[in-house]
């Protein structure tokens, strides 16, 4: 979502330049609309990232290399081999 926000910022800047060069209010309003949409996406992304924080004392899920507690204890019958 950050890439979309950056793209919207670039489009908004381009619209601002066009608005200044042509003196048209329509292009300026287009710039405002695009920048507000980018700000909303950035806010949503920040709030979603804040919700995904790891609670201390609990294992993080989805972390590369984290196999959890199931990989530590093997309860499969007949698995007496050791590594």
Contact residues for 66 (Cβ-Cβ < 8 A; gap 6+) = 59, 60
In which domain, by residue range, is 29 found? 1-51
**Where residue 12 falls among pLDDT bands split at 50, 70, 90?**
very high
Residue 46 lies in a domain: yes
Number of domains into which the chain is organized? 1
Do the domain assignments include residue 23? yes
Query: What mean pLDDT comes out for the span 5-29?
Result: 94
pLDDT of residue 63: 55
Q: Is residue 71 part of a domain?
A: no
pLDDT band at 49 (very low <50, low <70, confident <90, very high): confident
Question: What are the structure tokens assigned to 79, written together?
Answer: 């698995």
Looking at residue 67, what is its pLDDT?
57
Neighbours of 15 (CB within 10 A): 20
Q: Is 10 within a domain?
A: yes
43 part of a folded domain: yes
Q: Is residue 26 part of a domain?
A: yes
User: Is the residue at 35 inside a domain?
Assistant: yes
pLDDT of residue 79: 57
Instruction: Give the least confident one: 25-29, 32-36, 70-74.
Output: 70-74
For residue 68, pLDDT beyond 80: no
Domain annotation covers residue 15:
yes
């Amino acid at each position: 979502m950050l890439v979309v926000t950056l793209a919207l910022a670039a489009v908004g800047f381009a619209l601002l330049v066009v608005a200044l060069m042509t003196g048209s209010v329509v292009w300026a309003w287009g710039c405002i609309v695009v920048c507000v949409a980018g700000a909303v996406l950035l806010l949503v992304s920040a709030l979603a990232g804040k919700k995904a924080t790891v609670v201390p004392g609990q294992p993080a899920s989805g972390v590369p290399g984290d196999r959890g507690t199931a990989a530590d204890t093997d309860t499969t019958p007949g698995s007496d081999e050791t590594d």
